[in-house]
């Protein structure tokens, strides 16, 4: 049980799915994504950030990637594991790492985005994944203020899977799982007519490829983890002749399964879906992107590949989703409002009229607080609210209460609308300083980010004047000249 004050046994949804029983024949790989898996509770990895030539449909593109792979190595862990990750910066500019959605410490050499690793240097991260981390799809990416959009947009991200999603879902034991990492890449001056005409120079990739083919047996049910690594864009994904049963969002099971014809996955969002193959045939994957800018613009439908359904039909079974903690009954200790706005030329972005300043602490809460935050979008543009180190519950959209739909770490804030989210600052390991921001990274880089400190009132008084000066120093544009930050800075 993640949040002990909540009685959460009541919300159980019967899916009534047709779930294939093992044994399966192995599915063909969508691509050759390298994987790094934890052993005996420890994941040891080296991620080398470097310039690389990546290939998309025969076109060579300059990218910056981890370990030579545009899709990025997939990290596979279990709740309670420790990740020891050496980041080798072989770029010509500073970079760092953020572990999106992981409910771990923001301090020292943990998930601390104040760290800036200069070019040519290495940094050793240690991330303790809590035992209560929900199993599902997460991701890691570069998160240096001012460079985040560029670095993530050119490839610096990868998927992070906390394994065990099906453990709490008896009907899904042994089900085949598949990861879809969605990233777009801008290709300038492509002579390839498909890329130039069909894709308008921005190509959507799945697992590093611009076309994918998947094969399922008739009536076979599979679990797909979809992660949107895009710097700015919302992805719509559809599959001809099929629908999706959404069972998880942002790395955690949701209380009630939802049917969807199209998956609408915002930047940084993840979704877990069950797909049950239809009759034998050939079905097309298609994606559209919602472009952020002056009002959302839907791109043309793009064919991403095919699902081939063939072979002997699979056998049916039943699946039941597990109970999920509901914060509706939590005692709220504080209320805040944050207004997301931008300049007319869409070059400056603000929260409550202020741009990010690493020398200013914007919000302080005490460990144990549960707060309701209203996030208002005062613009024509889409914004995506994200907070590090914890998940939240969306309580209302445009003032209208919405039914419990699970916990998220990233959520769309509608244009000229508002959302209210409930945030439990209750786990001791999140004590420290971290960020909340718009996850359209163009907006974050141009100011739409603030700092929060979770203070443990029972601990010795935290004196952060020196820390704030240090933070200010490391986020200046000349960060390349600053020596490698060492562990313990925010502790």
Q: Which is nearer to Cu ion, 302 or 443 (CB)?
A: 443
Taking contact as CB under 5 A, which single stretch among the options 195-203, 275-283, 362-370, 443-451 is the one that binds Cu ion? 443-451
Q: Which is nearer to Cu ion, 246 or 441 (CB)?
A: 441
Q: Is 438 in the site for Cu ion (CB under 5 A)?
A: yes
Q: What is the DSSP string of 279-343?
A: SSEEEEEEEEEEEPSSS-EEPPPEEEEEEEE-SSPPPPB--BPPP---GGGSPP-EEEEEEEEE-
Taking contact as CB under 5 A, which single stretch among the options 10-18, 19-27, 250-258, 441-449 is the one that binds Cu ion? 441-449
Q: Which is nearer to Cu ion, 8 or 148 (CB)?
A: 148
Q: Is 419 in the site for Cu ion (CB under 5 A)?
A: no
For residue 107, the number of C-alpha atoms closer than 13 Å in the C-beta half-sphere is 15
Q: Is 422 in the site for Cu ion (CB under 5 A)?
A: no
Out of 100, 225, 288, 383, the only residue in the binding site for Cu ion (CB under 5 A) is: 383
CB 305 within 8 A of CB 211: yes
Please tell me the distance from the alpha carbon of residue 369 to that of residue 407, in angstroms, as a whole number.
Answer: 17
Q: Is 375 in the site for Cu ion (CB under 5 A)?
A: no
Out of 372, 443, 489, 490, the only residue in the binding site for Cu ion (CB under 5 A) is: 443
Q: Which is nearer to Cu ion, 154 or 386 (CB)?
A: 386
Q: Is 386 in the site for Cu ion (CB under 5 A)?
A: no
Distances (CA, A) of 170 to 152, 278, 304, 309: 37, 23, 32, 25
Minimum Å distance from CB 338 to Cu ion? 12
Q: Is 437 in the site for Cu ion (CB under 5 A)?
A: no
Q: Which of 83, 136, 91 is nearest to 110 (CA)?
A: 83
- Counting residues that bind Cu ion (by CB under 5 A) gives 4
Taking contact as CB under 5 A, which single stretch among the options 69-77, 367-375, 425-433, 440-448 is the one that binds Cu ion? 440-448
Q: Which of 129, 123, 75, 132 is nearest to 105 (CA)?
A: 129
Minimum Å distance from CB 442 to Cu ion? 8
Please tell me the distance from the alpha carbon of residue 373 to that of residue 69, in angstroms, as a whole number.
Answer: 38
Strand 302-309 relative to strand 212-216, pairing: parallel
- The one-character DSSP state at 69 is B
Minimum Å distance from CB 339 to Cu ion? 12
Q: Is 440 in the site for Cu ion (CB under 5 A)?
A: yes
Minimum Å distance from CB 438 to Cu ion? 3
Q: Is 412 in the site for Cu ion (CB under 5 A)?
A: no
Q: Which residues contact 26 (CB under 8 A, 6 or more apart)?
A: none
Binding footprint of Cu ion on the chain (CB under 5 A): 383, 438, 440, 443
């Amino acid at each position: 049980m993640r949040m002990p004050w909540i009685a959460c046994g009541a919300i159980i949804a019967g899916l009534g799915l047709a779930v294939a029983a093992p044994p399966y024949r192995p599915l063909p790989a969508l691509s050759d994504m390298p994987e790094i898996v934890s052993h005996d509770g420890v994941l040891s990895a080296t991620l080398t950030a470097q310039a690389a030539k990546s290939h998309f449909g025969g076109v060579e593109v300059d990218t910056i990637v981890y370990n030579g792979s545009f899709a990025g190595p997939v990290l596979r862990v279990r709740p309670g594991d420790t990740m020891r990750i050496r980041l080798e910066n072989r770029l010509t500019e500073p970079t760092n790492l953020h572990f999106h959605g992981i409910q771990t410490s923001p301090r020292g050499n943990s998930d601390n985005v104040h760290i800036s690793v200069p070019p040519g240097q290495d940094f050793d991260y240690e991330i303790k994944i809590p035992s209560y981390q929900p199993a599902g799809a997460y991701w890691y990416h570069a998160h240096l203020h001012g460079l985040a959009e560029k670095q993530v947009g050119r490839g610096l991200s990868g998927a992070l899977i906390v394994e065990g999603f099906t453990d709490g879902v008896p009907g899904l034991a042994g089900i085949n799982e598949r990861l879809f990492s969605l990233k777009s890449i801008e290709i300038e001056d492509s002579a390839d007519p498909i890329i130039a005409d069909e894709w308008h120079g921005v190509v959507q990739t799945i697992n590093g490829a611009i076309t994918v083919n998947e094969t399922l047996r008739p009536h076979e049910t599979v679990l797909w983890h979809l992660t949107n690594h895009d710097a700015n864009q919302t992805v719509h994904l559809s599959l001809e002749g099929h629908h999706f049963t959404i069972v998880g969002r942002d790395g955690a099971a949701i209380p009630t399964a939802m049917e969807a014809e199209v998956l609408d996955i915002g930047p940084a969002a993840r979704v877990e879906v069950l797909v049950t193959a239809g009759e034998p045939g050939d079905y097309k994957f298609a994606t559209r992107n919602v472009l952020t800018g002056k009002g959302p613009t839907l791109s043309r439908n793009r064919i991403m590949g095919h699902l081939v359904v063939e072979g002997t039909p699979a056998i049916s079974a039943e699946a039941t989703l597990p109970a999920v903690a509901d914060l509706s009954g939590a005692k709220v200790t504080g209320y805040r409002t944050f207004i997301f706005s931008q300049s007319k030329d869409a070059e400056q972005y603000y929260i409550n009229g202020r741009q990010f300043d690493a020398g200013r602490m914007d919000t302080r809460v005490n460990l144990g607080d549960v707060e309701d935050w209203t996030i208002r979008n005062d613009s024509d543009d889409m914004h995506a609210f994200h907070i590090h180190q914890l998940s939240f519950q969306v309580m209302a959209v445009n003032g209208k209460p919405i039914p419990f739909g699970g916990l998220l770490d990233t959520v769309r804030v509608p244009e000229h609308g508002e959302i209210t989210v409930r945030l439990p600052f209750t786990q001791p390991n999140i004590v420290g300083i971290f960020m909340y921001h718009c996850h359209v990274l163009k907006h974050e880089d141009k100011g739409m980010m603030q700092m929060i400190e979770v203070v443990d009132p029972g601990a010795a008084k935290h004196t952060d004047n020196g820390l704030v000066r240090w933070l200010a120093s490391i986020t200046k544009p000349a960060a390349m000249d600053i020596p490698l930050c060492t562990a313990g800075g925010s502790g």
